[in-house]
Amino acid sequence: MMQLRSYQSLPLGAKIRRSEMVIRQALEHWEDNMYVAFSGGKDSSVMLDLVWSINPNITAVFSDTGNELDSIREHVASYGDRVVWVKPKMTFWEVVDKHGWPVISKKMSDYINRCRKTKSDAVIKRHKFGLNSDGSPSPMSKIPDKWWKFVDGSIDVTNKCCGILKNDPTAEYRRQTGRFAFVGTMAGESRAREISYLNHGGCNAFDQKDPCSRPIMFWTEQDVLQYHIDKKLPMAKAYGEIKSRRGKLYCTDCQRTGCKFCLFGVHLEDGENRIQYLSRVEPESWEEFVRHGGNNVMEELGADWKPYQKPDIQQDMFDEEYEEPV
Ligand code: SF4
Q: pLDDT (tens digit, 9 = 90+) per residue, 5-42?
A: 889 999 999 999 999 999 999 999 999 999 999 999 99
255: confidence class by pLDDT, cuts 50, 70, 90: confident
**In contact, 27 and 203? CB cutoff 8 Å:** no
CA 106 – ligand 1 centroid, Å = 9
On average, the pLDDT of the chain sits at: 93
Domains of the chain, CATH where assigned = 2-90+162-237 (3.40.50.620), 103-152 (no CATH), 239-302 (no CATH)
7 φ, ψ (degrees, to nearest 5):
-65, -40
Long-range CB contacts for residues 15-19, cutoff 8 Å, separation at least 24: 15/216, 15/218, 15/219, 15/223, 16/50, 16/227, 18/218, 19/50, 19/203, 19/215, 19/216, 19/219
SS3 at position 31: coil
SS3 35: strand
What pLDDT sits at residue 189? 85
Q: How do residues 105-149 score in pLDDT, each as one tens digit?
A: 999 999 999 999 999 999 999 999 999 989 999 999 999 999 999
**Which residue from 116, 101, 122, 105 is spatially nearest to 149, judged by alpha carbons?**
116
Q: Is 67 in the pocket of ligand 1 (CB under 6 A)?
A: yes
Average pLDDT over residues 219-239: 96
pLDDT of amino acid 315: 52
pTM, two decimals, is: 0.88
pLDDT at 192: 82
Confidence of residue 71 (pLDDT cuts 50, 70, 90): very high
Say if CB 104 and CB 148 are below 8 A apart: no
Give the Cα separation of 262 and 254 in Å (integer). 15
Query: Cβ(165) to ligand 1 under 6 A?
Result: yes
The DSSP string of 148-164 is: HHHHHSS--B-S-HHII
Tell which atom from ligand 1 comes closest to the C-alpha of 161: 8
**Using CA atoms, how far apart are residues 219 and 186, in angstroms rounded to an integer?**
6
Is ligand 1 within 6 A of the CB of residue 102?
yes
Confidence of residue 320 (pLDDT cuts 50, 70, 90): very low
What residue owns the CA closest to ligand 1's atom 3?
A: 262
The percentage of residues in the chain with a pLDDT greater than 70, rounded to a whole number, is 96
* Distance between Cα 161 and ligand 1 center (Å): 5
Residue-level pLDDT at 314: 55
Tens-digit pLDDT profile for residues 48-70: 999 999 999 999 999 999 999 99
